[in-house]
Structure 1
Amino acid sequence: MTISMIGIDHDRAPVDIRALFAFTRKNAGEAMERLKEMSSVQGCIILSTCNRLEIWASHEENQKLSLYRCLCGLKNIDDDSYENYFTVRQDKEAVEHLFYLAGGLKSQILGEDQILTQIKDALNLAREHFTTDGVLEVLFRMAVTAGKKIKTEVPLAHGNPSVIHQAVRKLEEQGYTMRGKICMVIGNGEMGKVAAQTLRDAGADVTVTVRQYRSGMVSIPIGCSRIHYGERMKFLPLCDVVVSATASPNYTLREELFQDVKLTKPLLLLDLAVPRDIEPALGNKEEITLYDMDSFRSERFSPEAMESLEKAGAIVQEQMEEFFQWLVGRDIIPRIQEIRADAVQDLNLRIEKILRNTPMEQNDRENLLKAVDTAAGKVVNKMIFGLRDSLNQEAFLDCVAGLEKLYEE
């Protein structure tokens, strides 16, 4: 069994390229079902976030699988030039990547918490669409366990880091404070609520747009006001800051919508969505400053962060070893059972000649053969699993292969 993945992220591709390959929750479910229908794919999981897109698949070792071609087919993209933005990993390299990712060690903001939830959500979505298999199920569950252990034992981040927290911090470093600012947050999903709460905590006057303006149907952070999404352009001239964080495939703010809008003060636009929520051309207007997801990268790495990374790396290696022990055991048990059966049969053929010439009742002879079968099976198991415990993985697999050759004919 081979574990393969292909990924594109904020380190290798700008937001507009990432947007071409992003999936909504609904589209990801449909795409996984299509992937699973391929004869070579045993299981698949799609992880799609604002910062990255990853496709994971388990398949037979002798079956070649181009996940880039699969992805282009799902997206109706016929352009090989995008392949340079992707990273392909297999087996150990892929597993190590996922474990580091779950710990927040490959995020745009080191140690951020959201990726762990996103990995769990990706696994749950694959379960809902029946596209995961035993290998990916255990891999993703153990990656989540590794991520939780890193967050518990390694002081990577303090507070509740996210892109909006990073944005507020960097703007404050530049002398721009949110205290007293009038802010509008477009979008009331998970990221929108985090953004609204963060701005509120920073001292801003926050208004959130909602699609359904009915009391009690839509929750917003305490202390924030609400307006209907359709009223956003009327409210916008009053704002100092507008944050857009939706899952919409279309722009929430377009250049044409500003034709009848008169801005009397500088406007800061923060686009926290992939694909983009805010049309990039708006950043060319003199009175507007536009930031996107790639504008707030964290600096890498302080000496303290490097020390924490080493500790996290030790946890990753420990969890990886545990996963591969499970994986090898999963694949090796049937092979050991076959070796044991062949060895017991070999012993029986040799001992039957002796028993035929030994005077005893037929019933006693049959009982003795059964006892020999049981004892021989236990001895073979003890020898093989003893080798597993005393040898490294590669040497043990060589021993198993050698034993299998003894009984090939």
Structure 2
Amino acid sequence: MQLFLLGLNHKTAPVEVREQLALAPAQLPHALRGLREASGVREAAILSTCNRAEIYAVGPNDSLPRLEKFLQDFHHLPLAGLNPYLYQRYDADSARHLFQVACGVDSLVLGESQILGQVKTAFEAARTHGAISNILDELFRRAISCGKRARSETAIGRGALSVGSAAVELARQIFGPLSGHTVLILGAGKMSALTAQHLVASGARCVLVANRTHARAVELAEQFNQEKPIAEAVFWEEFPQRLAEADIVIASTQAPGFVVTVEQVAAAMKARRQRPLFLVDIAVPRDIEPGAHQLDNVFLYDIDDLQGVVNNNLAQRARELQQVESIIEAEVTDWAGWYRSREAQPIMAALAQHAAQIRDKEVAATLAQLPNLSPREQEIVRALAKSISGKLMHAPLRHLREAGEAGSADVEVLRRAFSLELAADHANGKSLNGAMAQETENSEGMAAEDDEAGDRA
């Protein structure tokens, strides 16, 4: 059995190709079912976003051609047309790729946080529809944990990456929490509306909208009022008088000259008793007379200033990349050890079962020769035998586990040394049996007692 990744993303395929492989949430159950039936893989998960389409699967070593055929048949696309855009990964490289995705280092925008939620959604969908088992379950859990580590231990996800979010970041530096503050929008274009939406989402309580075409101001105000009445449309001629009410002004008109003058800002500041005023000028040509920034407690930022904030944040994220990659490599190493250790589990189970059978056989023979033992004395004999076998098995089981994690050939050596025959379900890596679990518990318990005795000595 092998772990596979087959996919394409924004780095390998243009949007006109990516959109042909996009899956709506309602399509996922059908796709997961079809994928497993068509390819014969044991486990499967599909990560589908606007920037990537990826299949993670566990199946026989020859599964990849069937995964490719599934893509072709399900999406009704010729494989020859897809092949130039597809990438393949195997085993630990598949894990590394998913961890990079979850951390946001494979995203179009470095460190973006939305992808981690999309990885969680793909995981939950695969679990809900019974498409994954222990290997992909472990893989996705570790990927999500890795993504959380990257964001909590580094600054890879911090800092505004759009003009609107940069405006919010600067506003918070000026005012602290934005709750209770008023925003004035000059011009009802897309950029000013998006910036205002960022501010409202961050707590701004009131929005005034002024536009030369009043109907457009009314329309935009209604958009902000869909959840609760926080916005008011203002006639264009009135905005200079309303300027003093605003804590934050967003200007984005298409006027050929300045629409907000230094004199208007000075008058507003006098009426505000010099309380801070944040002016965001995202128009080209500019809407706010540059001299306004010389007034006390007036903070004026134009589109270049905001883009500078974004660029600085991107540079900061890039500086965090090396630390994030170190986290990813550590997580991949842990994952690879767990993944390789599965090869030792059937042998550990067989060894534990072998020891338990010998122990039980010898205990039964001994008790048959001692018919006068009381039930309590018989239990003492059984406990003694279990203790001895546990201590004897501790070192071999521990070595098997460590050898499996390291991918060592010692696993097969130990199997032959004990003449172990693997049950079919163990050979397929389905599960550990009760004998192994019990024997492992006994061996570890005895080892702990030995350690304590050594400490006391």
TM range (shorter): 0.5 to 0.7
* Distance verdict in 2 for CA 1:159–1:204, change over 3 Å: farther
Q: Tell me the alpha carbon deviations over residues 37-68 of structure 1, each in whole angstroms, 9 at most, x when there is no partner.
A: 34722222111111111111122457555322
Map of 2:410 onto structure 1: 399
The yes-or-no answer on 1:322 pairing with 2:334 is yes
| Shift in CA distance, 399/222, structure 1 to aligned 2, threshold 3 Å | farther
What corresponds to 2:91 in structure 1? 91
How far has the Cα of 1:303 moved from its partner?
Answer: 7.5
> Can you list the C-alpha shifts for 1:84-125, whole angstroms capped at 9, x where unaligned?
101111110010111111111111111111111111111222
Which structure has the bigger radius of gyration?
2
> Equivalent residues in 2 for 1:342-357 (5 A)?
342-345=354-357
CA distance in 2, matches of 1:81, 1:48: 19
Tell me the secondary structure at the aligned position of residue 37 of structure 1. helix
Residues 324 and 379 (structure 1 numbering): CA distance in 2 closer, same or farther, change over 3 Å? farther
**Between 17-26 and 317-326, the greater mean CA deviation after superposition:** 317-326
Tell me the amino acid that sits aligned with residue 145 of structure 1: S
Contact 2:44 2:126 in 1 (8 A): yes
Query: Where does residue 2 of structure 1 map in the other structure?
Result: 2
**Could you say which residue in structure 1 is the equivalent of 2:57?**
57
Change (3 A) 1:79 1:393: closer
**1:264 aligned partner:** none
What TM-score do the two structures reach when normalised by structure 2?
A: 0.56
Q: Considering Cα pairs closer than 8 Å and 6+ residues apart, tell me whether 1 or 2 has the greater RCO.
A: 1
Asked if the contact 2:344–2:400 (Cα under 8 Å) also holds between the matched residues in 1, the reply is: no
- Aligned identity (percent) is 24
> Match for residue 147 of structure 2?
147
Amino acid at match of 1:398: A
* Structure 2 residue 333 is matched with structure 1 residue 313: no
1:336 paired residue number: 348
Query: In the alignment, what sits opposite 1:173?
Result: none
CA distance in 2, matches of 1:72, 1:224: 53
Q: Who is 1:40 aligned against?
A: 40
Shift of 1:329: 4.8
Residues 10-46 of structure 1 deviation map (CA, whole Å, 9 limit, x = unaligned): 1111111111111111122321121133472222211
CA 103–59 in structure 1, closer or farther in 2 if over 3 Å, else same: same
| Coordinate RMSD, CA, aligned | 4.8
Q: Say how many residue pairs are matched.
A: 317
Counterpart code for 2:44: C
What residue number does 2:279 align with? none
2:152, 2:65 → 1: CA distance?
Answer: 37
Counterpart contact for 2:102–2:116, Cα < 8 Å? yes
What runs of 5+ residues in structure 2 fail to find an aligned partner?
167-184, 202-206, 234-252, 255-309, 422-457
- Contact map agreement 1:341 1:377 (CA 8 A) in 2: no
User: For 1:354-381, what per-residue CA distance to the aligned partner results, in whole angstroms no more than 9, with x for missing partners?
Assistant: x78x994247698687456524541354
SS at match of 1:44: strand
Per the normalisation by structure 1, the TM-score is 0.62
Distance in 2 (alpha carbons) for counterparts of 1:49 and 1:162: 20
Counterpart pick for 2:370 among 335, 349, 361? 361
Distance change in 2, residues 1:33/1:162 (3 Å): farther
Structure 1 stretches of 5 or more lacking a match? Answer: 167-178, 186-192, 226-238, 241-297
Alignment of 1:9-408 (within 5 A): 9-38=9-38, 40-61=40-61, 66-161=66-161, 180-184=186-190, 197-198=197-198, 305=317, 307-329=319-341, 332-345=344-357, 360-362=369-371, 370-371=382-383, 374-375=386-387, 377-387=389-399, 393-394=405-406, 397-406=408-417, 407-408=419-420
| Corresponding residue SS for 1:135 | helix
Change (3 A) 1:309 1:334: same
CA distance in structure 2 between the aligned counterparts of 1:128 and 1:195, rounded to whole angstroms? 38
Instruction: Give the secondary structure class of the aligned counterpart of 2:44.
Output: strand
Aligned AA for 1:319? Answer: E
Deviation string, structure 1 residues 319-343 (Cα, Å, up to 9, x no partner): 2333344444555334302122224
Q: CA deviation at 1:194?
A: 7.7
